[in-house]
Amino acid sequence: MMEKSDKSIKKILAIKDVTQCEATGLMLEKARKDGVKLAFDRAAEMKACPIGAESACCKMCYMGPCRLNARDPYSKVGVCGATIDTIQSRNLARMVASGSAAHNDHGMAVLELFKGVASGTITDYSIKDPYKLEALCVELEIEIAGMSIQEMALALAAELEKTYTQTEGEIPFIKRVPAKTLETWRKLDIVPRGAMIEVMGIMSRTHMGCDQHYKNMTKAISRTALADGWGGSMVATELGDIMFGTPSPVQADVNFGVLKKDHVNVIVHGHEPNLFESMLASVNDPALTQIARDKGAKGINLVGMCCSGAEMMSRHGVPHAGNFMSTEAVMVTGAVDAMAVDIQCIQQGLVKTADFYKTHLITTNPRCHIEGARHIEFEEHTPRACTDEIITLAIARFANRGVEVDIPQIVNKGIHGFSHEYINYMLGGTFRGGYAPLNDNIINGRIRGVAGVVGCVNPRVKQDWVHVELVKELIKNDVLVIQTGCSQISLAKEGLLVPEAAYLAGPGLREVCEAVGMPPILGLGSCVDNTRILMAATAMVKQGGLGDSIADLPVAGAAPEWMSEKAVAIGQYFVASGVYTVFGVGFPTVKNTKFHELLFGGLEDQGLGKWGVTPDPYEMAAMMIAHIDKKRQELGIDKSRERVLMDMATRRELAL
By C-beta, is 115 or 269 nearer to ligand BF8? Answer: 269
By C-beta, is 324 or 418 nearer to ligand BF8? Answer: 324
Q: What radius of gyration, in Å, describes the C-alpha atoms of the chain?
A: 24
By C-beta, is 78 or 455 nearer to ligand BF8? Answer: 455
Q: Is 456 in the site for ligand BF8 (CB under 6 A)?
A: yes
Q: Verify cis geometry, omega within 30 degrees of 0, for the bond prior to 319.
A: no
Nearest-angstrom CA–CA distance, 521 and 506: 13
Minimum gap (Å) between residue 353 Cβ and ligand BF8: 17
- State which of positions 49-88 bind ligand BF8 (CB under 6 A): none
150 near 123, Cβ under 8 Å? Answer: no
By C-beta, is 456 or 512 nearer to ligand BF8? Answer: 456
Stretch that binds ligand BF8, among 60-68, 214-222, 419-427, 559-567 (CB under 6 A): 559-567
Nearest-angstrom CA–CA distance, 349 and 508: 46
DSSP 3-state helix, strand, coil percentages of the chain (rounded to 5)?
50, 10, 35
Nearest-angstrom CA–CA distance, 477 and 489: 22
By C-beta, is 566 or 651 nearer to ligand BF8? Answer: 566
By C-beta, is 185 or 465 nearer to ligand BF8? Answer: 465
User: Nearest CA to 637 among 626, 624, 628, 646?
Assistant: 628
The correct pick among 32, 420, 566, 596 for binding ligand BF8 (CB under 6 A) is 566
Q: Is 585 left (phi over 0), alpha (psi -120 to 50) or beta?
A: left
By C-beta, is 242 or 527 nearer to ligand BF8? Answer: 527
The correct pick among 567, 568, 582, 646 for binding ligand BF8 (CB under 6 A) is 567
By C-beta, is 211 or 561 nearer to ligand BF8? Answer: 561
Site string for ligand BF8, 257-276 (x = CB under 6 A): --------------x-----
Q: Is 341 in the site for ligand BF8 (CB under 6 A)?
A: no
User: Nearest CA to 473 among 575, 623, 578?
Assistant: 623
Minimum gap (Å) between residue 310 Cβ and ligand BF8: 8
Q: Is 624 in the site for ligand BF8 (CB under 6 A)?
A: no
**Which residues contact residue 411 at a Cβ distance below 8 angstroms, ignoring those fewer than 6 apart?**
253, 254, 255, 257, 258
Stretch that binds ligand BF8, among 56-64, 210-218, 531-539, 561-569 (CB under 6 A): 561-569
Q: Is 486 in the site for ligand BF8 (CB under 6 A)?
A: yes
Stretch that binds ligand BF8, among 53-61, 563-571, 600-608, 640-648 (CB under 6 A): 563-571
The correct pick among 345, 386, 407, 524 for binding ligand BF8 (CB under 6 A) is 345
Given CA atoms 636, 641, 643, 648 in this order, what sign does their dihedral have? negative
Q: Which helix (H) or strand (E) holds 478?
A: none
DSSP string, 376-441: ----TTSHHHHHHHHHHHHHHHHHT--S--------EEEEE---HHHHHHHHHTTTS-SSHHHHHH
Nearest-angstrom CA–CA distance, 115 and 378: 17
CA angle 293, 295, 297 (to 5 degrees): 50
Minimum gap (Å) between residue 74 Cβ and ligand BF8: 34
CA distances from 519 to 464, 508, 510 (A): 19, 13, 9
Q: Is 39 in the site for ligand BF8 (CB under 6 A)?
A: no
> Any bridge partners for residue 339, and if so which?
267, 361
Q: Is 485 in the site for ligand BF8 (CB under 6 A)?
A: yes
* Burial annotation 193-211 (CB, 10 A radius, 16+ → b, else e): bbbbbbbebbeebbebeeb
Minimum gap (Å) between residue 406 Cβ and ligand BF8: 25
Nearest-angstrom CA–CA distance, 353 and 332: 7
User: Nearest CA to 453 among 349, 527, 383?
Assistant: 527
Minimum gap (Å) between residue 12 Cβ and ligand BF8: 24
Minimum gap (Å) between residue 457 Cβ and ligand BF8: 6
Stretch that binds ligand BF8, among 74-82, 167-175, 373-381, 562-570 (CB under 6 A): 562-570
- State which of positions 352-411 bind ligand BF8 (CB under 6 A): none
Stretch that binds ligand BF8, among 89-97, 111-119, 153-161, 564-572 (CB under 6 A): 564-572
> Any bridge partners for residue 453, and if so which?
483, 558
Given CA atoms 110, 113, 118, 123 in this order, what sign does their dihedral have? negative
Minimum gap (Å) between residue 221 Cβ and ligand BF8: 18
Minimum gap (Å) between residue 307 Cβ and ligand BF8: 3
Nearest-angstrom CA–CA distance, 266 and 304: 8
By C-beta, is 39 or 450 nearer to ligand BF8? Answer: 39
Nearest-angstrom CA–CA distance, 297 and 276: 22
Q: Is 19 in the site for ligand BF8 (CB under 6 A)?
A: no
Minimum gap (Å) between residue 460 Cβ and ligand BF8: 13
By C-beta, is 278 or 323 nearer to ligand BF8? Answer: 323
User: Nearest CA to 514 among 504, 505, 502?
Assistant: 502
142 near 155, Cβ under 8 Å? Answer: yes
Stretch that binds ligand BF8, among 225-233, 348-356, 512-520, 560-568 (CB under 6 A): 560-568
Phi, psi (degrees; rounded to nearest 5) at 451: -125, 135
The correct pick among 274, 333, 564, 589 for binding ligand BF8 (CB under 6 A) is 564
Number of residues that bind ligand BF8 (CB under 6 A): 14
User: Nearest CA to 14 among 35, 38, 40, 34?
Assistant: 40
Q: Is 585 in the site for ligand BF8 (CB under 6 A)?
A: no
Nearest-angstrom CA–CA distance, 312 and 318: 6
Minimum gap (Å) between residue 185 Cβ and ligand BF8: 25
Q: Is 527 in the site for ligand BF8 (CB under 6 A)?
A: yes
- State which of positions 312-331 bind ligand BF8 (CB under 6 A): 323-324
Nearest-angstrom CA–CA distance, 610 and 597: 10
Q: Is 307 in the site for ligand BF8 (CB under 6 A)?
A: yes
By C-beta, is 247 or 485 nearer to ligand BF8? Answer: 485
Q: Is 455 in the site for ligand BF8 (CB under 6 A)?
A: yes
Beta strands 300-305 and 264-269: pairing type? parallel
By C-beta, is 497 or 567 nearer to ligand BF8? Answer: 567
- Which residues of this protein are in contact with ligand BF8, per CB under 6 A? 271, 306-307, 323-324, 345, 455-456, 485-486, 527, 564, 566-567
